[in-house]
């Protein structure tokens, strides 16, 4: 994309990353660029809000591979359909829709055929391979957009599109049973949605967080016990979902598990995991697994469950121009719940 070319009456504002840098250096720049076109099978969305995610932070700070600069981050988009490309049929102009992390797949490879499109070799991800939602407009293949339930406001819906979807898939990957004992390590945007699903399923939830404010929110949302990851919970856990990027906490999670327990790692990035003693942490059929992306099925199921509960995300709203500050606060664990950029 030539970021210097602006077509008359078709320019939009966006926060763009041109160079990887620590977020403290304010690397996201406010720019004016062309509004994207809705190609065949695509819809153009006028963005109202975009949620902020730890993946955005890892992208900005250069911790993830395959990011081609310049790029507009953001993959929790809620807006209205502005224009329909050719060969579209699901939505009409004015419909409220959402865009999540999974932007497109080839829909033909063995993973797609097996219902594992999250592992598609040719998958593209929003705000990572293609420009995302820290902007006034975005285009996307309409097959990968979501209808947003009327029950949610824009700022409530945005965190469901990644924090919610990934949290839900992580719960599934942890194989937590209804009524089981579940541990959540880290209590940011994703965990504060996942706990509401788990409590809805009748689970006992044990939350591990360094932040007393996050612990207080966990108690409010139904946790039966809170502490730090170094603390030992009063009971062994059936499943653990680890939302932190800190590899050392993986050993803490394995230590909490009962026999045959499962720990699911929900992040896209994690620092090195320390050496693990087999007998102490893995023996007795304990399992450690990662969570890679999510499928459209995960998204549809999560939105349905979220409407039934209903899930009420806790949000802190920033303007588009405040994207750097919002990510700085996210990095410092200073946001309760989820951060959301209000685009308009």
Beta bridge partners of 71: 17
* The three-state (H, E, C) secondary structure of the chain, written as one string: CCCCCCCCCCEEEEEEECCCCCHHHCCEEEEEEECCCCCCCEEEEEEEEEECCHHHHHHHCCCCCCCCCCECCCCCEEEEEEEECCCCCCCCCCCEEEECCEEECCCCCHHHHCCCHHHCCCCEEECCCECCCCECEEEEEHHHEEECCCCCCHHHHHHHHCHHHHHHHHHHHHCCCCCCEEEEECCCHHHHHHHHHHHHCCCEEEEECCCHHHHHHHHHCCCCEEECCCCCCCCCEEEEEECCCCCHHHHHHHHHEEEEEEEEECCCCCCCCCCCCHHHHHCCCCEEEECCCCCHHHHHHHHHHHHHCCCCCCEEEEEHHHHHHHHHHHHCCCCCCEEEEECC
- Under 8 Å between Cβ of 217 and 163: no
Phi and psi at residue 10, to the nearest 5°: -130, 30
197: left (phi over 0), alpha (psi -120 to 50) or beta: alpha
Q: Which two tokens stand for residue 76?
A: 């929790």
- Under 8 Å between Cβ of 33 and 17: no
* Fold of the domain built from segment(s) 11-161+314-342: Quinone Oxidoreductase; Chain A, domain 1 (3.90.180)
47 contacts: CB under 8 Å, gap ≥ 6 = 77, 78, 79, 133, 135, 136, 137, 138, 343, 344
Q: Which two tokens stand for residue 315?
A: 């949000």
For the chain, give every domain's residue range. 11-161+314-342, 164-290
* Fold of the domain built from segment(s) 164-290: Rossmann fold (3.40.50)
Predicted structure pTM score: 0.90
| Length of the chain, in residues | 344
ω into residue 70 within 30 of 0, thus cis?
Answer: yes
Please tell me the predicted confidence (pLDDT) of residue 260.
98
- Under 8 Å between Cβ of 99 and 133: yes
pLDDT tens over the chain, length 344 residues? 433 333 334 899 999 999 999 999 999 999 999 999 999 999 999 999 999 999 999 999 999 998 989 999 999 999 999 999 999 999 999 999 999 999 999 999 999 999 999 999 999 999 999 999 999 999 999 999 999 999 999 999 999 999 999 999 999 999 999 999 999 999 999 999 999 999 999 999 999 999 999 999 999 999 999 998 889 999 999 999 999 999 999 999 999 999 999 999 999 999 999 999 999 999 999 999 999 999 999 999 999 999 999 998 999 999 999 999 999 999 998 998 899 999 98
Please tell me the predicted confidence (pLDDT) of residue 3.
38
Q: Which two tokens stand for residue 170?
A: 């992580």
């Amino acid at each position: 994309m030539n970021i210097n070319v602006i077509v008359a009456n078709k320019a939009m504002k966006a926060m763009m990353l041109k160079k990887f840098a620590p977020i403290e250096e304010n690397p996201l720049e406010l720019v004016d660029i062309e509004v994207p076109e809705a190609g065949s099978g695509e819809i153009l969305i006028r963005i109202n809000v975009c949620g902020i995610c730890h993946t955005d932070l890892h992208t900005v700070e250069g911790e993830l591979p395959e990011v081609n600069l310049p790029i507009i981050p953001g993959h929790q988009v809620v807006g209205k359909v502005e224009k329909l490309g050719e060969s579209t049929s699901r939505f009409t102009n004015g419909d409220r829709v959402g865009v999540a992390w999974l932007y497109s797949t080839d829909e033909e490879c063995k993973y797609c055929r097996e219902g594992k499109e999250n592992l598609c070799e040719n998958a593209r991800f929003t705000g990572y391979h293609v420009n995302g939602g820290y902007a006034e407009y975005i285009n996307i293949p309409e097959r990968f957009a979501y209808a947003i339930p009327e029950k949610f406001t824009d700022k409530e819906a945005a965190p469901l599109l990644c924090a919610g979807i990934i949290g839900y898939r992580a719960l599934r990957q942890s194989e937590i049973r209804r009524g089981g004992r579940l541990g959540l390590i880290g209590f940011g945007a994703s965990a504060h949605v996942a706990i509401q699903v788990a409590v809805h399923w009748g689970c006992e939830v044990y939350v591990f967080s360094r932040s007393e404010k996050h612990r207080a929110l966990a108690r409010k949302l139904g946790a039966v016990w809170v502490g730090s990851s170094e603390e030992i919970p009063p009971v062994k856990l059936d499943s653990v979902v680890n939302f932190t990027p800190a590899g050392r906490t993986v050993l803490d999670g394995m230590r909490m598990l009962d026999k045959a327990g499962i720990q699911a790692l929900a992040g896209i990035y994690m620092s090195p995991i320390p050496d693990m003693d087999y007998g102490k942490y893995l023996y007795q059929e304990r399992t450690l697994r990662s969570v890679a992306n999510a499928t459209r099925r995960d998204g549809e199921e999560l939105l349905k469950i979220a409407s039934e509960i209903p899930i009420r995300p806790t949000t802190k709203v920033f303007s588009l121009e405040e994207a750097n500050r919002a990510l700085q606060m996210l990095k410092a664990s200073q946001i309760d719940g989820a951060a959301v950029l209000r685009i308009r």
